[in-house]
Amino acid sequence: MPATERTVFIISDGTGITAETFSHSVLSQFESVTFRQVRVPFIDSVEKADSVVQRINRCAADQGNPPIVFTTLVNPDVLGRVRLANALFLDLFGAFVEPLEHHLGMKSSHSIGKSHKAVSSTQYRNRIEAINFSLAHDDGQFVSGLAQADVILIGVSRCGKTPTSLYLAMQYGVKAANFPLIPEDFDRGALPSTLMPYRTKLFGLTIQPERLMEVRHERRPDSLYASLPQCRHEVAEAERLMRRESIPMLSTTTKSIEEISTTVLQEVGLDRHSAY
């Protein structure tokens, strides 16, 4: 294995998804190295820990390099075993629990798999309910439920409304409907009348016509719908309409669904606990 490739184990007593995402963003600071991430979830016993140690050691021997290990293990016995392996250990919990204990003047509970466990919690149920809501209110379906929406994303077809709605629901339990702006709306020069009662919930997404053309071509190759003139016309008309109606607007062209969602939450005032 060349020096520019390294194996990374993410070892967790839960899913390890958060640690995996976090480790990915830390490791992206080392651009010249290719990291191969191996997520090892549900390590909640000494026996499983011992088997992980074998995997790590086999990897170290094969590659001639100790791998990098991110752990979020809470149980000290399990963590102690894993630490016997030949690796660079980065203990995500250990690094922060101790300063927090000192700051808060109390001991941590050292309990396992807290983060996603509370399936019966209100917060978790809200997420599932929001996913169902966003699915049912995708692309202007079931307009009768729009009164319950936290936000209604509008924009031309294929500008990024659906993935953003689903992300907002899944990550934040936000009931995000979405509603297309179509050529008929531009001919009339007005927002769909269905949306008028919900003016304050509207958030506009827009996109560069060239990028829109690419996205539409994937769906309907060589159609009028995907042609550059049509994309230019629709985007220009949609932006004009949204500007005239003073609807906040964001271009999705170079933004991820995480970035779009974050901006939507800020602009629509849905970020939680924003007293400060």
Q: Which of residues 195-214 bind a second copy (CB under 8 A)?
A: none
d(CA 243, CA 47): 61
CB-nearer residue toward a second copy: 76 or 189: 76
Interface of this chain with a second copy, residues 41 to 80, rule: CB under 8 A:
41-42, 55-56, 58-59, 68, 72, 74
CB of 131 to a second copy, least distance (A): 5
Query: What does DSSP assign to residue 158?
Result: T
Instruction: Report the nearest approach of a second copy to the CB of residue 124 (Å).
Output: 6
List binders of a second copy among 152-191 (CB under 8 A): 162-163, 166-167, 170-171
6 binds a second copy (CB under 8 A): yes
Largest CA distance in the chain: 70
Place of tokens 């990028």: 211
For position 251 contacting a second copy by CB under 8 A, the verdict is: no
For a second copy, the closer of residues 131 and 238 by Cβ is 131
Q: How many residues at the interface with a second copy, by CB under 8 A?
A: 83
Q: What is the per-residue DSSP string for 194-239?
A: GGGGGGGGEEEEE--HHHHHHHHHHHSTT-STTSHHHHHHHHHHHH
Q: Both tokens of residue 247?
A: 């609807």
Q: By C-alpha distance, which of 170, 172, 178 is closest to 131?
A: 170
Contact region with a second copy (CB under 8 A), list: 185-193, 198-206, 227-235, 265-273: 265-273
Residue 122 touching a second copy (CB under 8 A) = no
Torsion of CA 251, 255, 258, 259, to 10 degrees: -70
Among positions 96, 145, 199, 228, the unique one binding a second copy when judged by CB under 8 A: 96
